[in-house]
């Protein structure tokens, strides 16, 4: 296109130049030629300055049976959580943290970052009230997606929180109550109140059909997005049978797929087994885990759910186990879910959050490296066998100067050399299985020292 335009302009100006020479002696041709040169320079110079940097070509991640596929080849994920990306993209002063984090993730060979695509009510809210959005914050989410694309990182975007942080289901219930349409003040009415279901569907529709102001691509058409996560850690404790949550999941997963058939979809479960599951007493951490209204197998078996999600927090689940006992339990927990997905669900499983608290009374920094390695090894062994263990995401990474956003699981990766090294090792192990090392220059450079 540029070559055709250049040829067209050249012929046109050559014609003008000849006319000038014929009719006006020497001065006019000199001035005419100079004008032509100036015009071409200004036109193409402006074109060059105003164009976006060339973006990497991306395809949508797909699922075939128990595996993810990208460009026809199996995909295994080593990634991380940085829930704060949108919040820190609102203010130009904090925006560089987002770019720095995505760049750092890419340099470690991490391919997926899980982050919040919600902030309901409160400070810098994306959704100010039902159906009312702050364009300034939406542009921040636009920036996150565009910046991730530039760094070759895909995003797992979560759409609402079960917890109160960043609004969550509590905020939706408050809105319904304030507008006089709420059926109950219970937080769990989020799942069964028709008005609140309508609020959430409107939110989903608005986000999925959003046209990015930077890239010009609707979110639902952007392969930078790895997948949508319906809700972070859904629980409906008012109905331990699980029927209420199951009904909501079936309706909302179908709704998402009616809008967006390009992207994969997961629920955002913690992975607990429900009251009718034979694993409720053999694999669940304790009895309480089967009373939360969720069930890993039943929920994940919904047709519109493309892959399953599981979290790993033995520090929260047990209060009387030592480190080695927790690590042994994590192995059992992960293998159980891989087995479920290999044999029954026939879908990939992603361990979308895992972490070890630094507030444990027996905590030693070296324990984190051992804990992370246990998880990485199980994913690697499953991937080598072409099993359903499709990847894991560390909770959570930050950059320097963000202590107030941290919790007892977060870390700055390059300040923990053992974790940094292990993370790159896992990225390279999975890349080798996928045959990426000898195909792509970046992988070869990252992993050559570790062969």
Active site residues: 233, 353
On the question of a cis peptide bond just before residue 173, with omega within 30 degrees of 0, the verdict is: no
Query: What is the C-alpha separation between 437 and 449, in angstroms, rounded?
Result: 12
Query: What is the C-alpha separation between 315 and 76, in angstroms, rounded?
Result: 27
Could you tell me where the DSSP H helices lie in 182-241? 189-192, 194-208
Query: What is the C-alpha separation between 237 and 394, in angstroms, rounded?
Result: 27
Query: What is the C-alpha separation between 28 and 333, in angstroms, rounded?
Result: 84
Query: What is the C-alpha separation between 73 and 261, in angstroms, rounded?
Result: 20
Q: What contacts 91, CB < 8 A, 6 or more positions away?
A: none
Q: Which two tokens stand for residue 437?
A: 């090392």
Query: What is the C-alpha separation between 159 and 126, in angstroms, rounded?
Result: 11
Query: What is the C-alpha separation between 214 and 227, in angstroms, rounded?
Result: 20
DSSP label at residue 242: S
Q: Which two tokens stand for residue 70?
A: 């990208």
Query: What is the C-alpha separation between 60 and 224, in angstroms, rounded?
Result: 8
DSSP code per residue over 323-380: HHHHHHHHHHHHHHHHHIIIIII-S-EEEEEE---TTSTT--HHHHHHHHHHHHHHHH
Query: What is the C-alpha separation between 131 and 449, in angstroms, rounded?
Result: 52
Element containing residue 394 per DSSP (H, E): strand 389-395
Residue found by looking up tokens 């078996």 in the block: 301
Q: Which among 121, 245, 244, 232 has a CA at the least distance from the CA of 174?
A: 121
Q: Are residues 367 and 381 in contact, defined by beta-carbon separation less than 8 angstroms?
A: no
Query: What is the C-alpha separation between 69 and 72, in angstroms, rounded?
Result: 6
For 320, 321, 323, the CA distances from 361, given in Å and listed in that order, are 11, 11, 10
Query: What is the C-alpha separation between 161 and 372, in angstroms, rounded?
Result: 25
């Amino acid at each position: 296109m540029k070559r055709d335009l250049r040829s067209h302009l050249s012929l046109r100006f050559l014609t003008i130049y000849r006319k000038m020479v014929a009719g006006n002696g020497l001065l006019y041709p000199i001035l005419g030629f100079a004008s032509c040169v100036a015009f071409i320079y200004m036109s193409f110079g402006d074109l060059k300055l105003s164009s976006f940097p060339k973006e990497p070509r991306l395809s949508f991640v797909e699922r075939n049976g128990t595996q993810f596929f990208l460009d026809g080849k199996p995909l295994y994920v080593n990634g991380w959580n940085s829930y704060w990306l949108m919040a820190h993209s609102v203010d130009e002063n904090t925006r560089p943290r987002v770019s720095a984090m995505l760049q750092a993730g890419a340099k470690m060979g991490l391919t997926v970052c899980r982050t919040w695509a919600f902030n309901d009510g409160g400070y810098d809210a994306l959704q100010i009230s039902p159906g009312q959005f702050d364009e300034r914050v939406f542009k921040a989410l636009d920036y996150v997606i565009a910046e991730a694309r530039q760094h070759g990182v895909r995003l797992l975007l979560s759409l609402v929180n079960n917890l109160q942080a960043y609004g969550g289901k509590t905020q939706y219930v408050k809105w319904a109550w304030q507008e006089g349409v709420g059926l109950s003040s219970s937080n769990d009415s989020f799942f069964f109140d028709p008005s609140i279901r309508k609020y959430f569907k409107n939110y989903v529709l608005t986000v999925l059909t959003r046209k990015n102001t930077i890239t010009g691509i609707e979110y639902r058409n952007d392969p930078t997005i790895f997948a949508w996560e319906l809700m972070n850690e859904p629980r409906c404790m008012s109905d331990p049978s699980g029927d209420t949550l199951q009904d909501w999941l079936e309706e909302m997963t179908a709704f998402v797929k009616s809008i967006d058939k390009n992207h994969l979809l997961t629920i955002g479960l913690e992975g607990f087994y429900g009251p009718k599951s034979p694993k409720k007493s053999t694999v669940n951490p304790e009895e309480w885990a089967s009373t939360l209204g969720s069930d890993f197998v039943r929920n994940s078996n919904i047709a519109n759910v493309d892959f399953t999600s599981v979290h790993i927090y033995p520090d929260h689940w047990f209060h009387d186990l030592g480190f080695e006992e927790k690590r042994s339990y994590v192995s059992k927990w992960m293998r159980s879910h891989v087995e479920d997905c290999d044999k029954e669900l026939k879908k990939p499983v992603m361990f979308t959050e895992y972490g070890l608290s630094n507030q444990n009374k027996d905590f030693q920094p070296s324990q984190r490296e051992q804990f992370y390695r246990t998880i990485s090894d199980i994913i690697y062994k499953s991937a080598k066998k072409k099993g359903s263990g499709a990847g894991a995401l560390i909770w959570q990474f930050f950059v320097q100067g963000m202590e107030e956003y941290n919790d007892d699981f977060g870390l700055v990766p390059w300040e923990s050399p053992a974790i940094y090294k292990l993370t790159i090792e896992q990225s390279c192990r999975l890349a080798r299985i996928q045959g990426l090392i000898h195909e792509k220059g970046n992988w070869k450079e990252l992993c050559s020292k570790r062969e």
